[in-house]
Chains A and B, each alone.
Chain A
Amino acid sequence: MPPIEGKTMSMLANPTFLFYQFMNSISLGMNIFIIAAGLSLILGVLRVINFAHGAFFMVGAYVCWSTVTYLDGATGSFWLGVAAAAVVLGVVAFVIERGLLHYLYGREHLTQLLFTFAIVLVVGDLAKMIWGTDQYNVPYPHGLSGAVNFGFALYPAYPLLLCAIGVVVAVGMWLVLSKTRWGRIIRAATQDREMLSALGMNVPLVYTGVFVIGSALAGLGGALAAPRVAVSPGMDATIIIECFIVVIIGGLGSLWGSFLGALALGFVTMFGTVIFPDWELVLAYVLMLGILLWRPWGLFGVSEEESH
């Protein structure tokens, strides 16, 4: 289906349209970043490719819906739902890590991969047993269903808030990782876990903590996404692929890499859809392939040679 070229080009010359697309790109990027940050953290420290991250995202959205519904949509119930999603996923992750994943660290990657894939199926079926196959609607939180007037254009308030939350999560994680003792330990674990263990650190505890925090971020991301999408089975499918693209672009375990990767994905998706509508799906992968060819370790990742 060829686009109507003249129309597209005239739209791209329209400053209001460009503003919308610019804001759309950032809000999509920040949306994905909140989720991908957790995946990246887990991948960087545990070296486990956690396919279940998308399923955790979906459960986060369901938990948020349940909270809002239980409280009958009272003011503030959405934010309680967001907190509940993070806590529930943290607990779920704790049980999975301590009870199961913990025993697989010594095994080869394939076993771990199969394990996290099994978690996807189990969590997906459990979610279906608890919430059924219906689609649910989480209304926008009170006071955020409208738009903010920028003078020359309106932009919806809720995605603007998501942008802000994305930045807060990024800066918050950066502060923790770079300024605190725990942050230093986590960073050390991404670099050399044998040395860390030799220095007497309780590495298993670090692993548990990182898996819990990373998964809580997935739950948080799911809850925050809930007002903008239908909460339903299958909502985990696309997000996990987007997260992997972001992590690969940014580099394993790199916070700012994920941040930049998510923004890049946001811009490529939003503008690609307008300029090359036929190539929409491919563009994100082209971006990833390009980065992989140029810097196989990602934008902010560390190459094997440098690290040794």
Chain B
Amino acid sequence: MKRIFETSVAGRAFGAAALSVALLSGANGAGAAEIKIGVLYPISGGGAIYGGPAMQGHDLAVDEINAAGGVLGMKFVTAARDSKLNPAAAAAAAKELITKEGVNVLLGGLASSVGLAISEVARQEGVIYIATIPKTIKLTTTKLHPYVFRTASNTDFEGDAMAQIVKKVDGKKLCDIQLDYAYGHDLGDGIAKALPKHAPNANIVIKLRPKLGATDFNAYITQIMGSGCDTVVSGLWGNHFVNFAKQAAPFGFFGNHVYITGGEIASHEVASKLAGDYPDNVWSNTYELWYHSPTDAHKKFQARLAKKADTEATAMWPVLAYNGVMLYKAAVEKAGSTDADKVSKALEGLTIDTPMGKLTMDAKSHQANTGQFWGPMKKVAGKPYRVMDPITFVPPPE
């Protein structure tokens, strides 16, 4: 609430100037003194661990854009809503943002099911939606429409990278454990599709589908142990992984299985929180690592973010939200308007510089070429928790 209030005061101060610019340039949504961004991240309940840091990245981007004078002479104003991990709540919030707040664009989402729900609202209402975190492949395939774009990675990219690691660790008998909702199902499909290509000798011997939000994984742990597989492929993210690992470790589970997982279990926040309880033999991914700055752009971004977050060891999520805002800004600039159809056209094929390198939005699939860091999580002398070593950047497959 506080943020909305502050920005609306700022908005009023710039109102007159922005209004005249808007009228002069004939910007669509004429009379709009500002560009209103509807942003949806989970900021309560179990998803708040990710939504909070994502909002930091979002705010950082908006602050930087406004400090540089805004876009087409208009300031960015944020209207934030809690998407929870609940598609129905997120859809209602997205509708409200469009009809009551009159936002020009929707950004965010976290859970894949939530991303699909927001996308559906965007389609009906003809408003641009940039999915910054949801990874279900359906968002940019079967459920694709002109107004949805994704800057996150997707389940096909992730499954492909995991199949490459199966090959690398010479996995033969695989257990596939995924959460029973859009993301888990689609990641399972993504792995199954990529295995024949990268690791034709590997076979999935059992598929397990615990529920989203499950806390007790013992029944699944014993099934994996009973199935005789040498490698586990998984997409249990966040707390699901923490709970699974804590319950599996006393069985000696991680001594007998290589655990290859999507869901950004290599992120600093999971590794630092689990610290000494982070298990052996885990290969995972992350979008960003604060301790790994291969480029100058990343170093600078990291410094600005560290200042905002008041810690050097920043989370992985802010960069995703940040890139989403920056992509939208570039599209509005290119389109010379906030009109959804014009911005949609502008987004197709658009390339921007991000802290992680060049980001290009594919004109056909509406999917950005976002890669991830992948690698084994190792104990390294001098580090209080596990770090990825070696760090390999895996670009999206051709």
Contacts and interface: CB of A to CB of B under 8 A. Distances in A.
Interface residues of A, number: 50
Contacts of A233: 44-46, 48-49
Contacts of B205: 4, 7
A150 B85 CA distance: 41
Interface of A: 1, 3-4, 7-8, 11, 14, 16-17, 20-21, 24, 27-28, 124, 128, 133-137, 139-140, 145-147, 154-159, 227-230, 232-235, 237-238, 269-271, 273-274, 277, 280-281
26 contacts: A1-B209, A7-B206, A17-B225, A24-B222, A28-B218, A128-B48, A133-B48, A139-B276, A145-B250, A155-B251, A156-B247, A228-B243, A229-B239, A229-B242, A230-B242, A230-B243, A230-B246, A230-B273, A233-B49, A234-B45, A234-B46, A235-B46, A237-B45, A270-B219, A274-B219, A277-B209
Given A28-B216, A277-B208, A281-B211, A1 B180 contact: yes
Interface string B248-288: 01111000000000000000010001111100000000000
A20 B222 contact: yes
Nearest to A157: B250
B226 A238 contact: no
Interface of B: 43-49, 51-52, 180, 185, 188, 205-211, 213, 215-216, 218-220, 222-223, 225-227, 238-239, 242-243, 246-247, 249-252, 269, 273-277
A15 to B, nearest CB: 11
For chain A, what secondary structure do more than half of its interface residues adopt (helix, strand, loop), or is it mixed?
A: helix
A207 to B, nearest CB: 31
A273 B219 contact: yes
Contacts of B243: 228-230
A273 B220 contact: yes
Nearest to A14: B226
Contact of B207 (A1, A134, A154): A1
A28 to B, nearest CB: 6
For A27, A228, A281, the residue with the greatest tally of chain B CB atoms inside 10 Å of its CB is A228
B273 A154 contact: no
A93 to B, nearest CB: 23
B271 to A, nearest CB: 11
